[in-house]
Every structure is written in structure tokens, then in C-alpha cells.
């Protein structure tokens, strides 16, 4: 009996050892599985975090490009304005989703796809704005070119207008009546009405201006107003109460006497009588005559 107990004891101890080894191996396998599982989960968290950070950086770049595109002085169409608003809404949605830190791998993949679409849109949007800028630059160049032509034509028209005005002025001056010869005769008027020539101021009552018109084929035939200015020996213009104004070479002047003659360009001799409302003075009287806005000529007479 003693011999049998001794043989069974080692066998039981051997079984316990095997069991412990199995348990230890099982624990090792379990710990290894948990370790690798936790490591894989940590790696996945790190991966998700890295992807989110990359996406946030990409979104920042996209928004910066969108802002830069809008700093150009380009008039956007309604469609482009709408597209820009939609892009900014998508950027806001992506930022909000990334802030929650609860994105699954699938949600992250969809967000990445949204970022790709957003990148495509901004690239196209920027290209459209650059095309608008090129078109605007082309239109500005065309406008400037046309403006240069317009300015050139305007300058030419202005020059031609000035030349035409100058020519018209020359023609008008050339067409104005000019005195060929002139003589001035002091006259005394007797009580009978008979007129006689005199030389003394005390006996003179009026002046007779006798003249003819120089040949002028371009002057208008017909009636022409004649304005006369008479300056006394003291150098004063004689201005009667019924005097008015007329224009000569762009200057308004007062006249002493106004009448009219009919011009025929046939060498007619004209007589204009002017009665002095005051007494004549000793000295020289100067007679200046004007027609058609220009000086016709002048003459003078000395009274003793």
C-alpha cells in the first residue's frame, strides 16, 4: 500500500504544473491580444487626429484663397455670388463637424471628399475671376484705344473748328465794306436852307462826309448799317442823347451817329451829313466809320 501512494503523488503534481502552464499561456495570449487591440485603437485615434488636422489646414488654405480671390475689383455675376455663398456655408459646416471630435472613419472619409470638391470649386472660381480680370483688362485696353481715337478725332475736329472760325473771320473781314476815298466838308446852313462850305468853327453847323467804297466782290450787296464816331479837338467822343452801342472786333463801343447805305459794288459815291448838336470848336475833328463789325476807314477836318 505505501508503495502505491508514492507513485501517485508525482503524477498529481505534474498535472498541476501543466495546468498552471496552460493558464499562464492563456493569460499571455489574452494580454497580447489586448495590447495589440489597444495599440491598434490608439493608432486609429492618432490617424483620425492627423487627418482632421490636415483637413483643418486645407480648409484654412481654401478659405484664404477664396478671400484673396474676392479682393480683386471684379464685378461678380449672380451665379458666382451664389457659388461663393455655398462654398462659405460648406466651409462653416466642415469646421463645425471637425470641432466635435466625434467623426467616425466613414464620416471622415465623406468630409475628405467634401474638401476635395471644395478645393475643385475654389480652383475653378479663382480661374473664373482671373478670366474676368483678363476680359476686363482687354475691355479697358480697347476702351483706352477707342478713347485715344476719340480724343484724336476730337482734337482734329477742334483744330478744324478753329481753322474754320479763323477762315470765317478772315472771310468776314474781307467781306466788310472798306472806304476807298473820303473827304469831310464843314457846311454853313443859311436861313434860306442853302448850304455853303466854310472853314471857320464859328460858322460851321454840320459836316458832310463824302466817300466811296472800295471794290469788294465778296461783300454782300444791299443795305449795310454804318456807324460813325466823331472825336472833337479835345479828344472827346461826341455822344448825343440818342446814342447807342455797336460791336467792332468783339468790343462794344458807343457811336455818335448811325445810318445805312446800299452797297452795289459799282463805285457809288455816298454823302452822309452830320449836324453838330453843339457849337463847333477850333481844331481838328476826327471821323471814324464802321460797318459789318469792322473799321471802314477814317478822315479828319481842321476848323479855324
pLDDT by residue (tens digit) across 179-214?
Answer: 999 999 999 988 887 889 999 999 999 999 999 999
Q: How far apart are CA 9 and CA 239, in angstroms?
A: 168
Model pLDDT for residues 152-168, shown as the tens digit of each residue: 888 888 888 888 877 77
Of 272 and 46, the one with more pLDDT: 272
Neighbours of 3 (CB within 10 A): 6
pLDDT at 85 over 70: yes
Q: How far apart are CA 290 and CA 2, in angstroms?
A: 175
The pLDDT of residue 102 is 55
What does the pLDDT average to over 101-113? Answer: 66
pLDDT at 252 over 90: yes
pTM above the 0.95 mark?
Answer: no
Please give the sequence-ordered ranges of beta strands (E in DSSP) within the chain, or none if there are none. 179-189, 195-197, 206-213, 222-231, 245-248, 251-254, 257-263, 269-275, 283-291, 294-303
What is the residue whose three cell numbers read 479663382? 126
What does the pLDDT average to over 253-278? Answer: 93
pLDDT at 3 over 70: no
Confidence of residue 44 (pLDDT cuts 50, 70, 90): very low
3-state secondary structure of 237: strand
Contact 216, 265 (CB under 8 A): yes
The pLDDT of residue 257 is 95
Amino acid at each position: 500500500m505505501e508503495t502505491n501512494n508514492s507513485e501517485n503523488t508525482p503524477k498529481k503534481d505534474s498535472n498541476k504544473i501543466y495546468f498552471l502552464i496552460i493558464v499562464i499561456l492563456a493569460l499571455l495570449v489574452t494580454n497580447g491580444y489586448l495590447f495589440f487591440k489597444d495599440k491598434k485603437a490608439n493608432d486609429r485615434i492618432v490617424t483620425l487626429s492627423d487627418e482632421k488636422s490636415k483637413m483643418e489646414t486645407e480648409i484654412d488654405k481654401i478659405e484664404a484663397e477664396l478671400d484673396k480671390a474676392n479682393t480683386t475689383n471684379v464685378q461678380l455675376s449672380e451665379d458666382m455670388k451664389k457659388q461663393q455663398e455655398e462654398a462659405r456655408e460648406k466651409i462653416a459646416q466642415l469646421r463645425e463637424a471637425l470641432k466635435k471630435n466625434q467623426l467616425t472613419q466613414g464620416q471622415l472619409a465623406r468630409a475628405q471628399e467634401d474638401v476635395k470638391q471644395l478645393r475643385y470649386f475654389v480652383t475653378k472660381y479663382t480661374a473664373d475671376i482671373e478670366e474676368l480680370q483678363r476680359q476686363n483688362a482687354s475691355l479697358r485696353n480697347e476702351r483706352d484705344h477707342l478713347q485715344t481715337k476719340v480724343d484724336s478725332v476730337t482734337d482734329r475736329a477742334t483744330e478744324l473748328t478753329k481753322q474754320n472760325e479763323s477762315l470765317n473771320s478772315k472771310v468776314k473781314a474781307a467781306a466788310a465794306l472798306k472806304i476807298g476815298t473820303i473827304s469831310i466838308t464843314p457846311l454853313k446852313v443859311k436861313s434860306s436852307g442853302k448850304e455853303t462850305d466854310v472853314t471857320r468853327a464859328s460858322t460851321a453847323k454840320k459836316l458832310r462826309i463824302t466817300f466811296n467804297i472800295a471794290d469788294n466782290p465778296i461783300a454782300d450787296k444791299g443795305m449795310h448799317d454804318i456807324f460813325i464816331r466823331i472825336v472833337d479837338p479835345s479828344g472827346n467822343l461826341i455822344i448825343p442823347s440818342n446814342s447807342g452801342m455797336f460791336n467792332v472786333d468783339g468790343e462794344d463801343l458807343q457811336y455818335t451817329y448811325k445810318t445805312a447805305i446800299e452797297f452795289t459794288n459799282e463805285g457809288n459815291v455816298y454823302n452822309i451829313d452830320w449836324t453838330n448838336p453843339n457849337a463847333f470848336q477850333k481844331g481838328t475833328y476826327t471821323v471814324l466809320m464802321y460797318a459789318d463789325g469792322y473799321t471802314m476807314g477814317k478822315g479828319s477836318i481842321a476848323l479855324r
